[in-house]
Amino acid sequence: MEKIAVLMGGLSNEREVSLESGRNVVDGLKSLGIYDVVPVVINAENLDEMPEGVSRVFIALHGGWGENGGVQRALDFRKIPYTGPGAESSRVAMDKIKTKMILEFTNVPTPAWSLASPDTPSSPLSLPVVVKPPADGSSVGISKVSTAQDWQAARDAAFAAQGGQGTVIVEEFIAGREFTVPVLNNQAWSPIEIIAENGWYGFDEKYRSEKTMYPFVSESELTIKGEKIADILRKTALDAYKALGCRGITRVDIRLSPLGRPYVLELNTSPGFTSHSLVPKAGMREGATFGEVCKKILDCATYGIGKK
């Protein structure tokens, strides 16, 4: 049987989420009965834990080296096909500053933004804004600033999440609704709405709350201008995916303003596979099992400039 490695763990602050994703993917692929599935827990920024004879890799690492192009480059070097975008697209997607520059340059809508340093005294954009570290995931270090008094704490929280270094993003707060759209090899799957209890999709709402709701977007629902919401979301997600040169699986996070205008928040090139995760949910909508969704993603695995 073909030997498939599932990489999980890693050193980022999303290690625990990744271990859960990885265990689910291992079980899902094993359930198909056609692979020799090897779980590989990553504890350093290298592939030393990976056994010989692996023909393809499912990357279930989130954040850091597992999502920023590091592991992708290591697998390119070994000529082993892996799931998700290549090293360069992964690197850009993990950096929200680079992502926003490319989205703007290619006319994909993204919230207006600016940058702040540790001593920026007040918000460079009019309130409300969202302050976020460019490289973290899982909503860590992200907060909304509604009044001038909230600025300092939000700025400091964003810097604390990245060791006080660099710059952080200050972004126009987009009122309205939130959605996420998985894209696999240039095909957008069913958009999913994210309805968090208090309207904010923070760490607890992502991983702990049982009250966050994830309904599929109805294919007939229209914006107040009469356009199909599902179509707007699929097109926007696909435009963002192409702008960054993605391949394989990627999940695009989008806000939709009350007027029906979409704004891309970010692209997730190694999306979660936990019990709350949305890529498997969207994939299973068409009747596939969890394992079959994993297989579809695995079957798009490539390395380098797109070799199988």
Ligand X SMILES: Nc1ncnc2c1ncn2[C@@H]1O[C@H](COP(=O)(O)OP(=O)(O)O)[C@@H](O)[C@H]1O
- Smallest gap from Cβ 3 to ligand X, in A, equals 32
Active site residue 14: yes
Shortest reach from residue 270's CB to ligand X, in Å: 11
Q: Say if strands 56-59 and 2-9 run parallel, antiparallel, or are unpaired.
A: parallel
Q: How far apart are alpha carbons 20 and 61 in whole angstroms?
A: 10
Contacted entry of ligand X, Mg ion, none for residue 138, CB cut-off 5 to 8 Å set by kind: ligand X
Q: Who's near 86: CB < 8 A, 6+ residues apart?
A: 72, 76, 245, 247, 302, 303, 304, 305, 306
The Cα 229–Cα 259 span in angstroms is: 11
> Does 251 participate in catalysis according to the annotation?
yes
Rounded least distance, CB 103 to Mg ion, Å: 14
> Counting contacts by CB under 6 A, is residue 19 touching ligand X?
no
Q: Rounded to a whole number, what is the distance in angstroms from the first to the last CA of the chain?
A: 17
Q: Establish whether 177 is a catalytic residue.
A: no
Q: Does 139 bind ligand X (CB under 6 A)?
A: yes
Instruction: Pick the catalytic residue from 15, 155, 251, 255.
Output: 251
**Could you give the C-alpha distances from 43 to 14, 15, 40, 67, 71, in angstroms and in order?**
13, 10, 10, 15, 12
Q: Among residues 181 and 294, whose Cβ is nearest to Mg ion? A: 181
Query: Footprint of ligand X on residues 235-274 (CB under 6 A)?
Result: 253, 255, 265-266
For the record, the structure tokens of 147 come out as 């009044």
> Which residues are 188's β-sheet partners?
183
Stretch that binds ligand X, among 22-30, 65-73, 170-178, 281-289 (CB under 6 A): 170-178
Residues 6 or more apart whose CB falls under 8 angstroms from that of 106 comprise 239, 243
Query: Exposed/middle/buried for 24, CB within 10 Å: 0-12, 13-18, 19+?
Result: buried
Nearest distance from C-beta of residue 166 to ligand X, angstroms: 16
As measured in angstroms, the least distance from the Cβ of 101 to ligand X is 15
Task: Rule CB under 6 A: choose which of 171, 207, 237, 303 binds ligand X.
Answer: 171
- Residue 58 contact among ligand X, Mg ion, none, beta carbon within 5 to 8 Å by kind: none
Contact pattern from residue 234 through residue 273 relative to Mg ion, giving x for each residue in contact according to CB under 5 A and a dash for the rest: -------------------x--------------------
Q: Which two tokens stand for residue 159?
A: 């810097």
Placement of tokens 């356009």 in the chain: 227
- Give the three-state DSSP class for 159: helix
Judge whether 266 counts as a catalytic residue.
Answer: yes
Cβ count within 10 A of residue 187 = 10
Tell me how far apart the alpha carbons of residues 228 and 240 are, in angstroms, rounded to a whole number.
19
268 is annotated as an active-site residue: yes
Nearer to ligand X, 29 or 142 (CB): 142
> Could you say which of 108, 130, 254, 293 contacts ligand X (CB under 6 A)?
130
Least CB distance to ligand X at residue 171 (A): 4
The residue count for the chain: 308
Applying CB under 6 A, which residues contact ligand X?
A: 111, 130, 132, 137-139, 142, 171-174, 178, 200-201, 253, 255, 265-266
Applying CB under 5 A, which residues contact Mg ion?
A: 253
List residues with catalytic annotation.
14, 138, 207, 251, 253, 266, 268, 272
